[in-house]
Each structure stands twice: as structure tokens, then as C-alpha cells.
Structure 1
């Protein structure tokens, strides 16, 4: 795999899989700009950007010549996939994602994490836990359907170990 040829990399997966961590690491290695969808969508106090405005902002980012974009937002996954030349799907077990979410909550308690919009303090609520727990049954099938239709190269990583091994092969 020749990473130099990838200019638009989409990183998707369940919350807690490590999308933002991977995007930051890849951006450093490949010298590409990163866009965290959470930071684009959420406004201070967890106020969502209206969907038409969000899609317009996202479209402007997608048209740029190079990027790494991480995030879920299934309503825009097809839109993002059309522009990507590499899609990385972190397909991790839901128990691992939940564990990481609670760890992240503890590490960033009372403040905003770096990949989130300012004024959005780290939180975990029942709705979020339920989303993560049901991701394999409710969201994963649609992700796989999209990946099958995509013209981008697809890389599916199923464990942190696979991510680490793959990253060891990535050099600018």
C-alpha cells in the first residue's frame, strides 16, 4: 500500500473506536490536515449545527484537495465516501468502544477534548451508551453496504493491534 497516493482519507467506526486518535497520528505521518466531524457539527453547549448548514460546511471541506476526516454521522457517510480515496473502518467490539468511552470521560472530565468543539465538555449519557452498544446490529450493516459500493480503497481494522501494525507501515 502506497500511503503517499492518499490525499483524502475517511476514518469511520463506532464512537470510542479511536477514530480521532488515528486521524491525528496519520495526519502527522502523512502531513495532511485533519477535520473532526464532531468539531464541525457541534457548537458550544452541545448545540447542533442545523443539518443544511452542516452539509454545506462539510461540502466545502470535501472539495479541498487533501484531508483526513474522522467521524460517524451516518447521514453524510455516502457524501464523504464519494470524495475519499481511502476509507478506514475501525470495526471494533462494542464492549471495547464502551470501555474507551468511559476512560475518555474520566480523562477529560469537566473540559472539552481536543477533537471536539469548544464548550462541549465530555459527557456520557444513556442515549450515547445505547448507541455504542447497539452499533454492531443497527449501524455496522449499513456501513458495510456503503463500503461495498464505494470506489475508494477500503481498509477494515478490527482491533487496536491491527491499527498499530498497519500504522507501523505508514510513512510520509
Structure 2
């Protein structure tokens, strides 16, 4: 495990897992939200965004957390490990609401500068529909990969067990 992607619904805990995994494996962590969003929630233009991802992927090791469908295929191609947090919708909704309360009026540590935490109907809808609209395609794509370490974690308990069973060298004990 040297090039790790963490994907899943908003509120599932991708950034938290990335931080913990990075500390355990001593691998640099790249929170994609912090690279994609510019001050005030301005999106990075597509060509620039692709360049950002390519620069990260060129490194010897990395952990990237975030979905970003426009670069998903290129990241999967370069990753040796994909972790999909396939959590129940209610857990993800709880996660985004909790995060909103915790960071009210602030910018999260895994977000770009001056992107104050927000929760709008569009994002709530995206989270609410993720399991039905996006997760099946992701599971299908991951099932077709034979040359990658694939971990599909269904809840926070499975995620904790995964971390506990992972050696500092990236092997499952």
C-alpha cells in the first residue's frame, strides 16, 4: 500500500480515515477538497484540476481522499489500493450534520482556506441519494479490478477494525 484512494459518500469519514491511515503508514495525505476548492468555494478549472491530480499521482506514495468523478478513473489506474466507505445513508447524513455543527463559522482543517463549513439542500440531496445513485456503479467498477487491493467498508466499526488490523507496512494482519 503506497498509493491509496479513499472514496465514499460525504459524511462517511474519508478525511478522518485518510489522516489516521497517513499517520499509521507514514504516507502523505492529500485531501482533494482542499485542492479543488479555492477561497470562497470557487471550483478549480478542469484543466488545472487534472494537472493538480497528475502532480500528486507522480509522487512515490500518497493517500487521496475524495470522489471527484472527473479524475476518478485516472486515480484508480495509478492507485494500488482503493478504500470505498460504503456506509448507510443515515450514517452519512449524521456525519455531515455533525460536521456542520462542529465547524460552524469555520473552515475544516481538510478544506481550502476561507471555505466556511456549509450545509445546503443540494449537498444534503447528494448525500441522501448517493447510496442509490452512485454507490452501485462504484461497486461495479471496483469488482472489475483484479490488480488492486480493494477494501469496501460498510460502517465505522469495520473501518476501525481495518485500521487496527493494518500493520505499519500496509499489510492486513
Alignment TM-score, normalising by the size of structure 1: 0.95
> Aligned residue for 1:17?
12
1:71 aligns with 2:66: yes
Kindly tell me the number of residue pairs found equivalent between the two proteins.
167
Contact kept, 8 Å, 1:15 with 1:72, in 2: the verdict is: no
Cα deviation, residue 145, structure 1: 2.4
1:149 aligns with 2:144: yes
> Aligned residue for 2:165?
169
Contact kept, 8 Å, 1:81 with 1:87, in 2: the verdict is: yes
1:159 aligns with 2:145: no
Q: CA RMSD in A?
A: 0.8
> Aligned residue for 1:30?
25
* Aligned ranges 1:19-168 → 2 under 5 Å: 19-150=14-145, 151-168=147-164
Cα deviation, residue 141, structure 1: 1.7
Alignment TM-score, normalising by the size of structure 2: 0.94
Cα deviation, residue 142, structure 1: 1.8
Unaligned runs of 5+ in 1: 1-5
Contact kept, 8 Å, 1:39 with 1:117, in 2: the verdict is: yes
CA distance in 2, matches of 1:97, 1:89: 13
CA distance in 1, matches of 2:90, 2:73: 27
Cα deviation, residue 148, structure 1: 2.2
Cα deviation, residue 137, structure 1: 1.5
